[in-house]
């Protein structure tokens, strides 16, 4: 059961308060303490994102204190940051912009201990003034989180601070409760931001607008009109030098409990009373509480051929690099409607889609051979890539004599709008929200524990992994899992550019 000590709540504003999803009130200056500052996530996303925020008008005055195990100097850290921004940044900096951002970067190695970290952070605070706040970003493996929290406590860096924690948050219910309890000994729940970068994507947030702002879709968003839902996030990437992490984690803990279930909550949640953190978090938690236990018979685990030959991987490894599962929600809106989730490494394409399959209309009025239902049900599809595309497919008449039907579609892309250039990268958006203290797009302790509780049957008795060739869509057993329906990926028709 979920821990009863969850009485600790976030101090959100009153429900009637002004929505905070687009809050533009001035922010206090911030020192961002980046743990794991030399790691892959920091290079690919965090440092480029912080550079863009600092150069834009969106963020307050910031300074970044990087820390990691590497014993390097501040100048070496700045060189690492510049290389990361040039290689991975969506927004490039000219020489002047880089010089201004570089001046805001300092580095202190972990070997300097709590005293060294405290001195560096307080030195940065003095440059920002008395109203300065702190944001600690834990870009570290889960097993290192407790050590970092302890260092923050010993460094006297807890007050007036918020802490961002990366996934996965625990590895089962017991470890999640233990980690939550430990973090709560140091930080109040209102200070903790458990990040899922999928929810920071503009396309993911557009689901809320699409569902609740349109009379066309809101009335039919339920079991009476929707046949099933697919959330499909295949990846072409492999381990990317993360064998030590992945061997103890696998696709389910790495992707499903974190990303896919959080996206499912946006698709399935009831209308919140307001677009504010407490209301949205509560509706997401209701979805997690209504999730039926995940049984091994509804799961296909896979491992790509060659995984056991990767450096750092056991030759007898049973870790799944692929997983597909069927889940259900035991509530009034969704009872009996299956949700199919799929993700994996070394697959045929890298995609991030949500596909809503509507129930088919009666076909009795159409003559044999008309083509009705020949290409499956109507679908509403969200592409969670940065382009933020949406497609609605339906049957229409083919021009010419007779009644011949074919599948047509209407498509939209965020990039087509006049505001397409305003899209924030997911980590940029979430760092900004954390500085604002806005929990809307972050996970809660209760939600995380609910998901681990429902995962217990699968974790206790996982089905054996089935091998699949690299560059495919997973083991053949996935087709029996979803029958008589079919997976949307690979698409029969490409997105229109």
For residue 425, the model assigns a pLDDT of 86
Crossing angle of the two packed helices 47-55 and 95-102, in degrees rounded to 10: 110
For residue 175, the model assigns a pLDDT of 92
CA–CA separation, 342 vs 299, rounded Å?
Answer: 10
For residue 420, the model assigns a pLDDT of 57
Closest CA to 424 of 10, 35, 14, 48: 48
What ranges make up the beta strands (E) of 263-365? 299-304, 322-327, 339-344, 353-358
For residue 231, the model assigns a pLDDT of 97
For residue 393, the model assigns a pLDDT of 86
Binding residues: 36-43, 167, 197, 201, 235, 254, 345
For residue 2, the model assigns a pLDDT of 47
For residue 421, the model assigns a pLDDT of 61
259 is catalytic: yes
CA–CA separation, 398 vs 44, rounded Å?
Answer: 47
For residue 419, the model assigns a pLDDT of 59
For residue 412, the model assigns a pLDDT of 84
Binding residues for NADP(+): 36-43, 167
CA–CA separation, 211 vs 219, rounded Å?
Answer: 9
What domains sit in the chain, N to C, each tagged with a CATH number?
A: 30-196 (3.40.50.720), 199-426+443-482 (3.30.360.10)
Binding residues for substrate: 197, 201, 235, 254, 345
Per-residue confidence in pLDDT tens, the chain, 497 aa:
444 444 343 443 333 333 333 445 678 999 999 999 999 999 999 999 999 998 887 889 999 999 999 999 999 999 999 999 999 988 888 889 899 999 999 999 999 999 999 999 999 999 998 899 999 999 998 788 999 999 999 999 999 899 999 988 889 999 999 999 999 999 999 999 999 888 888 878 888 888 999 898 999 999 999 999 999 999 999 987 678 889 989 999 999 998 999 999 999 999 999 888 889 999 999 999 999 999 999 999 999 999 999 999 999 999 999 999 999 999 999 999 999 999 999 999 999 999 999 998 877 677 777 767 767 788 999 998 866 788 998 888 888 887 888 888 888 887 776 655 667 888 999 999 999 999 988 999 999 999 999 999 999 999 999 999 999 999 999 999 999 999 999 987 677 76
What ranges make up the beta strands (E) of 284-364? 299-304, 322-327, 339-344, 353-358
What pTM did the predictor assign?
0.88
Q: Of the listed 136, 184, 228, 259, which one is catalytic? A: 259
Task: Give SS3 for 344.
Answer: strand
- Structure-block tokens of residue 117: 């970290």
For residue 4, the model assigns a pLDDT of 43
| Torsion angles phi and psi, residue 411, rounded to 5 | -130, 150
CA–CA separation, 170 vs 197, rounded Å?
Answer: 17
Residue 409 CA: distances (Å) to CA of 199, 381, 406, 415:
26, 10, 10, 18
For residue 22, the model assigns a pLDDT of 42
Closest CA to 434 of 3, 2, 23: 23
Closest CA to 59 of 426, 420, 431: 431
- Structure-block tokens of residue 233: 């996030």
């Amino acid at each position: 059961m979920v821990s009863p000590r969850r009485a600790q709540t976030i101090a959100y504003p009153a429900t009637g308060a002004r929505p905070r999803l687009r809050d533009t009130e001035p922010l206090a200056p911030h020192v961002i303490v980046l743990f794991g500052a030399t790691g892959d996530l920091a290079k690919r996303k965090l440092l480029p994102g912080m550079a863009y925020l600092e150069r834009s008008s969106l963020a307050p005055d910031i300074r970044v204190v990087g820390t990691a195990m590497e014993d390097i100097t501040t100048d070496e850290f700045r060189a690492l940051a510049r290389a990361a921004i040039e290689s991975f940044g969506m927004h490039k900096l000219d020489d002047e912009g880089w010089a201004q951002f570089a001046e805001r970067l300092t580095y202190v190695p972990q070997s300097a201990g709590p005293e060294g970290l405290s001195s560096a952070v307080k030195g940065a605070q003095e440059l920002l003034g008395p109203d300065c706040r702190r944001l600690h970003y834990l870009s570290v493996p889960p097993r290192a989180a407790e050590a970092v929290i302890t260092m923050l406590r010993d460094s006297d860096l807890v007050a007036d601070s918020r802490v961002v924690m990366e996934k996965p948050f625990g590895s089962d219910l017991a470890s999640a409760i233990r980690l939550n309890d430990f973090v709560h000994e140091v930080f109040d729940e209102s200070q903790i931001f458990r990040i899922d970068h999928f929810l920071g994507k503009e396309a993911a947030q557009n689901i809320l607008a699409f569902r609740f702002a349109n009379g066309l879709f809101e009335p039919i968003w339920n079991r009476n009109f929707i046949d099933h839902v697919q959330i499909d996030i295949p990846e072409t990437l492999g381990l990317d030098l993360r064998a030590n992490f992945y061997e103890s984690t696998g696709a389910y803990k790495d992707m499903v409990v974190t990303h896919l279930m959080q996206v499912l909550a946006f698709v399935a949640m009831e209308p919140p009373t307001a677009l504010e953190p407490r209301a949205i978090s509560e509706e997401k938690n209701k979805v997690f509480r209504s999730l039926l236990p995940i049984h091994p018979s509804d799961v296909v685990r896979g491992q790509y051929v060659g995984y056991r030959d990767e450096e750092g991987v056991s030759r007898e490894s049973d870790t799944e690099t692929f997983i597909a599962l069927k889940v259900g929600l035991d509530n009034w809106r969704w009872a009996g409607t299956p949700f199919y989730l799929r993700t994996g490494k070394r697959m045929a394409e890298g995609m991030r889609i949500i596909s809503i399959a509507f129930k088919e209309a009666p076909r009795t009025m159409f003559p044999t051979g008309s083509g009705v239902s020949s290409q499956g049900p109507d679908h509403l599809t969200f592409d969670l890539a940065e382009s933020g595309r949406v497609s609605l497919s339906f049957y229409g008449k083919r021009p010419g004599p007779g009644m011949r039907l074919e599948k047509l579609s209407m498509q939209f892309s965020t990039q087509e709008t006049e505001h397409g250039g305003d899209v924030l990268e997911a980590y940029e958006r979430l760092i900004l929200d954390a500085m604002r203290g806005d929990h809307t797009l972050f996970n809660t302790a209760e939600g995380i524990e609910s998901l681990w509780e429902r995962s217990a049957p699968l974790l206790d008795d996982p089905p054996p992994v089935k091998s699949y060739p690299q560059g495919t869509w997973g083991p053949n057993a996935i087709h029996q899992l979803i029958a008589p329906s079919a997976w949307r990926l690979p698409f029969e028709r490409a997105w229109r550019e």
